[in-house]
Amino acid sequence: QVRRLSDLLAAMRKPIPVQLVSDKRTQVLVYHVGDLGSFESKRLELTPGEYTVVGRCPGYRDVRRTISVKADQASVGPITIRCEEKI
């Protein structure tokens, strides 16, 4: 049981590649990670868990996505985050 728990804890610490795609105009923020700025494509290494990704662009409605990163995944994405609805 101790070995199994040790293996599970090690898996939870292992970063998983996450691919985000945007439009070079939307400012992207991942809560508890940081402000990523604007980009066309960005690869992150995130430990397993739930993450909220927010996109902001002046004159457009903010976009919010929740992504789940699981320890048994090889990678996540691509996740598209871009503001498209004008206000």
The per-residue pLDDT for 36 is 96
> Across the strands, what pairs with 52?
66
HEC letters along the chain? CHHHHHHHHHHHHCCEEEEEECCCCCEEEECCCEEEECCCEEEEEECCEEEEEEEECCCECCEEEEEEECCCCCCEEEEECCCCCEC
The single-letter DSSP state of residue 13 is: H
Please report the pLDDT score of residue 5 as a whole number. Answer: 73
Q: What is the pLDDT of residue 4?
A: 76
Across the 87 residues of the chain, what is the mean pLDDT of every consecutive 10-residue run?
73 85 96 95 94 96 95 89 94
